[in-house]
Amino acid sequence: MRYFIVEEDRSSGYTGRVDAVHKWGLPGLSNCPACNATWGGGSKDYPSVDLTPVASLADFEEARPEPIEEYERMCELVRPFLPPGAVLEPGSEFGPLVGNARGRFGPLVSPVPWWLLVQREALEKLQAEGLRGLKGCRTELRFRQRNSPELLELELLPLGRAHPDCLPRNRKPPCSRCRRNGLTRPDDSLLLLDSSTIPEHLDLFRLEDFSTAIVCTERFVNACRRLGLDGVTFFPVSSK
């Protein structure tokens, strides 16, 4: 099986723009006691997760750094609502995208590298092709135009990893407490997937260690091309 990185197709001619954030989120981390890092990822997002049953919901509505004890406490409040395979990190977000959208959108939309949106009709066509693991989640995007599309966000689980051969040899192991790896994502031309970590039951997922990278199978690419679904481009990536 061949694999591809999914990215925005800037030559497509579509003018659509999205200015939004997810409804809820974990705080960033302030001064990890093990590695002293202050950080927040935010690219491990779970739009299907509904946090309204959480009593202290207001704590998840403001982006901010917190000490690790508070971050870990909030993680435990969220964990019962996560889909199988979900991984949390500082800055992880939940619930629908809330904000504004404008312009002309293609069937597939990648407003930032770690989001993939899809028009409902396009999603239904892909699901009819038998592609696996395509879960469309509602958004709360406000359009200031007539005939606005219905954009859904695809929930992308972090399940694959980069192969060690494409990473620095002198890299340090992830922090024992906050799990930050401190590595820069390799360029697409240098990225190598670890074949032993690639999920065999999904045609679309994100990498766990470089979660801004959205990966799809050749089946997904072929279906999009056969159905004429554009708006994104596919960059081949090797595996080992």
- The string of pLDDT tens digits covering residues 171-221 is 999 999 999 998 999 999 999 999 999 999 999 999 999 999 999 999 999
Mind listing the pLDDT tens digit for each residue in 17-65? 999 999 999 999 999 999 999 999 879 999 999 999 998 999 999 999 9
- Which structural domain range is residue 126 located in? 97-154
User: So what's the pLDDT on residue 135?
Assistant: 97
What's the distance, CA 71 to chain centroid?
A: 20
How many beta carbons lie within 10 A of that of residue 26, not counting itself? 27
162 in the same domain as 144 = no
| 80 φ, ψ (degrees, to nearest 5) | -65, -15
Amino acid at 149: P
pLDDT-derived band at 144 (thresholds 50, 70, 90) equals: confident
In this structure, the answer to whether residues 53 and 84 fall within a common structural domain is yes
Number of domains the chain is built from:
3
Q: Do 26 and 75 belong to one domain? A: yes
**Position of tokens 């690790």?**
68
Are 104 and 60 in a shared domain?
no
pTM (2 d.p.):
0.95
